[in-house]
């Protein structure tokens, strides 16, 4: 009953986020299913819910929708942490780039996050302790401030473009997947650094959540199209990238994203169609929708 009552409010909020009216029912079904599954996992200790998916798939939007549904439908408190807020500062990335490889000045890939801070955040909240969390501005390309999270939630939602990704063998790194790798990383220094960071205990410990969700896009072409649409919708006053700049920027993410599209293991997969609607929900936990 509460689920049907909240649908009207969900519809209003979804339209504000730019979701097409015809897609809202399927999005609500997906979000409600994720929230219901998280609620069933709650046994007293804080539940961690990871949400992964390529750029532009809607991770942040869906994460906050799940948070809203958990609260309004199930009376469960939730908070959202994005891996994006844990990017190294601009100066830290410049220093890393000078020591290791110039491409590491660009935020995004594993190795450009402060995962020790993120792991500490998760541990503090699991221990029901207040903690400081960083706030990163993509417009400024730098960390803005630290915020205090006073009240540990019952469900902690963790989202990121590479959330849950796994490293590959060195052999798989040999052939470049795009011009950026071919022309700017011919010696594989950047690729190996990123892969080693992804393989590290600190990344994989953070990625180890009680429940894992994947937003499964059709292909990289769809991801680029959706990310370009996001860029065009940025609020006035923020610098936006041209189509050419965005294409080059996304080359940094391409290798890991393409592998995730092929080989991602999730408890719940939300299959997205080319129109960015929810085409299907796959649940290997076999919970009844």
- Are the beta carbons of 93 and 105 closer than 8 angstroms? yes
The reply to whether 288 falls in a domain is: no
Q: State in Å, rounded, how far the first CA of the chain is from the last one.
A: 15
Task: Kindly indicate the confidence band of residue 5, based on its pLDDT and cuts at 50, 70 and 90.
Answer: low
In the beta sheet, which residues pair with residue 213?
51, 268
Question: Rounded to two decimals, what is the model's pTM?
Answer: 0.91
Q: Would you state the structure tokens that stand for residue 18, as one six-digit string? A: 């730019």
Specify the 3-state DSSP secondary structure of 1. coil
The reply to whether 106 falls in a domain is: yes
Give 236-274 pLDDT, tens digit per residue: 446 577 888 888 999 999 999 999 999 888 999 999 999
pLDDT exceeds 80 at position 17: no
- Total structural domains in the chain? 1
**Pairwise CA distance, residues 241 & 238, whole Å:** 10
Give 117-159 pLDDT, tens digit per residue: 999 999 999 999 999 999 999 888 999 999 998 889 999 999 9
Average pLDDT over residues 31-49: 93
pLDDT exceeds 50 at position 234: yes
The reply to whether 169 falls in a domain is: yes
User: Among residues of the chain, what percentage have pLDDT more than 70?
Assistant: 94
Q: Look-up: residue for tokens 């649409």?
A: 229
The reply to whether 66 falls in a domain is: yes
**Pairwise CA distance, residues 84 & 102, whole Å:** 20
The reply to whether 234 falls in a domain is: yes
Q: For residue 176, give the CATH number of its domain.
A: 3.40.50.300
Give 54-108 pLDDT, tens digit per residue: 988 999 999 999 999 999 999 999 999 999 999 999 999 999 999 999 999 999 9
H-only helix segments in 17-160: 24-41, 59-74, 90-99, 115-126
The reply to whether 204 falls in a domain is: yes
Task: Kindly indicate the confidence band of residue 109, based on its pLDDT and cuts at 50, 70 and 90.
Answer: very high
Q: What is the pLDDT of residue 236?
A: 46
**Pairwise CA distance, residues 148 & 58, whole Å:** 26
Task: Kindly indicate the confidence band of residue 1, based on its pLDDT and cuts at 50, 70 and 90.
Answer: very low
pLDDT exceeds 70 at position 11: yes
The reply to whether 289 falls in a domain is: no
Least confident of 6-15, 113-122, 160-169, 173-182: 6-15
Q: What is the pLDDT of residue 4?
A: 66
Domain hosting 137: range is 2-283
pLDDT exceeds 60 at position 287: no
Give 176-206 pLDDT, tens digit per residue: 999 999 999 999 999 999 999 999 999 999 9
The reply to whether 247 falls in a domain is: yes
């Amino acid at each position: 009953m509460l689920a049907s009552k909240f649908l009207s409010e969900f519809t209003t909020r979804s339209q504000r986020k730019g979701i097409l009216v015809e897609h809202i029912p399927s999005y609500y079904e997906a979000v409600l299913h994720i929230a219901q599954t998280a609620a069933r996992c709650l046994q007293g200790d804080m539940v961690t819910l990871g949400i992964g998916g390529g750029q532009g798939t809607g991770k942040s939007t869906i994460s906050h929708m799940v948070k809203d549904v958990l609260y309004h439908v199930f009376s469960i408190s939730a908070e959202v942490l994005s891996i994006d807020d844990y990017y190294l500062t601009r100066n830290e990335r410049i220093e890393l780039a000078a020591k290791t490889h110039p491409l590491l000045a660009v935020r995004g890939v594993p190795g450009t996050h402060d995962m020790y801070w993120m792991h500490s955040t998760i541990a503090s909240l699991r221990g029901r302790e207040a903690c400081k969390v960083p706030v990163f501005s993509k417009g400024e390309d730098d960390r803005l401030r630290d915020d205090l999270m006073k009240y540990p939630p019952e469900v902690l939602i963790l989202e990121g473009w590479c959330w849950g990704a796994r490293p590959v063998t060195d052999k798989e790194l040999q052939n470049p997947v795009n011009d950026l790798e071919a022309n700017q990383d011919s010696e594989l220094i950047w690729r190996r650094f990123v892969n080693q960071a992804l393989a590290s205990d600190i990344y994989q410990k953070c990625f180890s959540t009680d429940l894992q969700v994947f937003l499964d896009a059709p292909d990289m072409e769809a991801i680029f199209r959706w990310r370009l649409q996001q860029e065009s919708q940025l609020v006035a006053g923020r610098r936006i990238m041209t189509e050419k700049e965005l294409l080059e920027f996304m080359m940094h993410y391409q290798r890991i994203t393409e592998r995730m599209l092929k080989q991602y293991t999730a408890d719940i997969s939300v299959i997205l169609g080319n129109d960015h609607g929810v085409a299907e929900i796959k649940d290997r936990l076999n919970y009844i929708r």
